[in-house]
Structure 1
């Protein structure tokens, strides 16, 4: 007699992600919080200065110390200031280029935090995951210590282009053209002129449907922006970690701070 398949045990389902430790690694500061799978913070954000010099072992220990006060998490999402592919660091312009190439930071952090599954992407891309609408070609530009970028098409993350180190004008790269050092050297008015030029170049390069400008220095942007360009809060750099583990459609409109 054939077996009654209705009595066979159902295949075990993978446990749903509950809480995610989301870490935003910046050139000047490390920020972290625990969020739920929808991207809502369930703990106050913690922050410490980024150690310099910052070889992998030093950074991992700084992360472990940073997250001690935070509640339980079962996944980790990290935004890193450089090119990342399949959790492997390719570039780290603000942390020491040579010592970081080829480092599996996700594995190092996972091991240090007791084996918690960990994923890592570029920090601008993680912020973009929180703010994109998922329609057409969307581009995020983050203005902070340097200049970060991320490209999305119909909500999917495209291969990373490390424009931060790409030449933009004479001796300048995007990092040195509109990074924080340029802002402090030339002042807000001249820096905004450079940001305006960067927007025009990105439009010509990508023909984006929408450009989002985030990062710590986005608050200094005073340009009269077209409807296809908007400012978004830097807080999105933490929330985007949810999309690495629980992909979702849409965005959090509260991150909009200008049109």
Structure 2
């Protein structure tokens, strides 16, 4: 895809606790200060869209919109939203709704996928894990985004998936020491199962890790990951990423 060197991208990271946004240039550099707003509790699609409108009302001009969403996305349509109003988001075409609301082309992917595009080294098999309200994952081969797997919903204990096991609610219930012990177990499991070359840990709870990480594991921040909103437009329009235009 040929891009205008002056293009600017509105990058939006929708999280269970906050919605974050900035505008990026073609080099992934922030053109305005990184902004955030609280995500409404049990948020519906309309509430998320209105929150975005409030957040960006004073933003400067942009050409395209990139969105990271905390759930499974298929062809721009939300399939799951476990940390928002899951029922309201089921089969909701969020990319089309946002494209039409703001009259710009949209690319919508899982939030860990977009974060990963901003932080991976683009060498070998790389994994991104986000530790926030829930547990997010993304996989890349030599920098190419691979089809998304909702590994957060694999069972880890009876009646418990990884979202339950290591997400915000687990941290609150278990306390920091127990949560770290569980996280160490999780990282060992994914190292054995995925056999990644590099792992990047992001999200608000990544800063709470209190044990030494393997040499091929790196901590990265949300501000590093949001530049994935620029790289998202360098991906081929296809199975993993689809452009949705305003109607």
Q: Same fold (TM over 0.5)?
A: yes
Where does 1:44-123 land on structure 2 (aligned, <5 Å)?
Answer: 44-113=33-102, 115-123=103-111
Aligned residue number for residue 40 of structure 1: 29
Write the distance in 1 (CA, Å) between the matches of 2:178 and 2:80. 29
Root-mean-square deviation (Å): 1.4
Name whichever of 98-107 and 148-157 sits farther off.
98-107
Among candidates 142, 149, 153, match of residue 130 of structure 2: 142
Aligned residues: 234
Structure 2 length as normaliser, TM-score?
0.91
Write the distance in 1 (CA, Å) between the matches of 2:69 and 2:3. 28
Aligned residue number for residue 239 of structure 2: none
Write the distance in 1 (CA, Å) between the matches of 2:105 and 2:53. 15
Matched, 1:180 2:183: no
DSSP-derived class of the 1:216 partner = coil
Aligned residue number for residue 22 of structure 1: 11
CA contact (8 A) 2:21 2:34 kept: yes
Q: Which runs of 4+ in 1 moved over 3 A?
A: 13-17
For structure 2, list consecutive stretches of 5 or more residues without a partner in the other structure: 236-247
Aligned residue number for residue 235 of structure 1: 223
- Shift of the alpha carbon at 1:18? 1.1
- Shift of the alpha carbon at 1:17? 5.7
Matched, 1:217 2:208: no
For structure 1, list consecutive stretches of 5 or more residues without a partner in the other structure: 1-12, 248-259
- Shift of the alpha carbon at 1:15? 4.1
CA contact (8 A) 2:119 2:225 kept: no
Name whichever of 18-27 and 81-90 sits farther off.
81-90
Among candidates 20, 32, 43, match of residue 31 of structure 1: 20
DSSP-derived class of the 1:208 partner = coil
Q: Which has the higher contact order (CA 8 A, sep 6+)?
A: 2
Write the distance in 2 (CA, Å) between the matches of 1:49 and 1:78. 16
Give per-residue Cα distances to partners, 1:20-52, cap 9 Å, x unaligned. Answer: 000000001111111112211010112111112
DSSP-derived class of the 1:134 partner = coil
Structure 1 length as normaliser, TM-score?
0.87
Write the distance in 2 (CA, Å) between the matches of 1:84 and 1:170. 27
Structure whose alpha-carbon radius of gyration is higher:
1
CA contact (8 A) 1:25 1:123 kept: yes
- Shift of the alpha carbon at 1:101? 1.8
- Shift of the alpha carbon at 1:171? 2.6
Write the distance in 2 (CA, Å) between the matches of 1:223 and 1:232. 16
